[in-house]
């Protein structure tokens, strides 16, 4: 339960700091950087006392998330937000080693999947607002 509360508090703090971060970095750069970073956290865990096949799996998946972030940054920002949420699914697959047996802290999948879901939704909202602000007025004037 503590990991759920911690994840929610961490997410809220991040969202509260976003106006400050947006003074220096664009939301799309922040989101793409987050997606790349969270993907490679599991590589770090894999390098600690795990078999080579776990390392290869985690590096491969991290590179997939990296390409999602880059493609989203260039082509469609929503892809970054969906990528962050998809990473939450990757977290769940690690829970108790059900499908993926990389040696990670027990609390991590729950903590990270909740953050990924909240941040993904947050960035979807941000990107939708940006898109609607940039969209030309297509209404027919009489």
Taking only the tens place, the pLDDT of each residue in 89-131 is 888 887 666 677 777 888 888 899 999 999 999 999 999 988 7
User: Greater confidence, 5 or 136?
Assistant: 5
**CA distance between the termini of the chain:** 58
Write out the two tokens for 18: 């976003």
Residue with tokens 């220096």: 24
Q: Where are the domains of the chain?
A: 37-127
User: Greater confidence, 139 or 62?
Assistant: 62
Q: How much is the pTM?
A: 0.84
pLDDT tens track for 14-73: 999 999 998 999 999 999 999 999 989 888 888 988 888 888 888 999 999 999 999 999
pLDDT of residue 136: 58
pLDDT of residue 142: 47
Interior/surface letters 95-117, b for 16+ CB within 10 angstroms, e for the rest: eeeeebebebeeebbbbbbbbbb
pLDDT of residue 96: 66
Ramachandran angles phi, psi of 139, nearest 5°: -70, 140
Tell me which residue of 35, 36, 114, 136 sits closest to 81, measured CA to CA: 35
Write out the two tokens for 114: 């909740």
The residues, any chain, with a CB within 8 Å of residue 5's CB and separated by 6 or more, are none
- Tell me the HSE value of 132 on the side-chain side, using a 13 A CA sphere: 6
């Amino acid at each position: 339960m503590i990991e759920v509360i911690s994840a929610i508090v961490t997410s809220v703090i991040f969202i509260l700091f976003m106006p400050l971060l947006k003074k220096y970095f664009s939301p799309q750069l922040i989101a793409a950087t987050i997606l790349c970073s969270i993907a490679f956290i599991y590589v770090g865990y894999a390098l600690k006392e795990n078999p080579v096949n776990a390392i290869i799996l985690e590096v491969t998946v991290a590179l997939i998330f990296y390409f999602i972030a880059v493609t989203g940054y260039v082509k469609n920002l929503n892809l970054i937000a969906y990528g962050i949420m998809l990473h939450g699914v990757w977290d769940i697959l690690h829970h108790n080693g059900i499908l993926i047996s990389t040696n990670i802290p027990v609390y991590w999948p729950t903590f990270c999947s909740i953050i990924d879901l909240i941040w993904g939704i947050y960035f979807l909202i941000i990107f939708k607002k940006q898109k609607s602000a940039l969209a030309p007025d297509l209404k027919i004037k009489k």
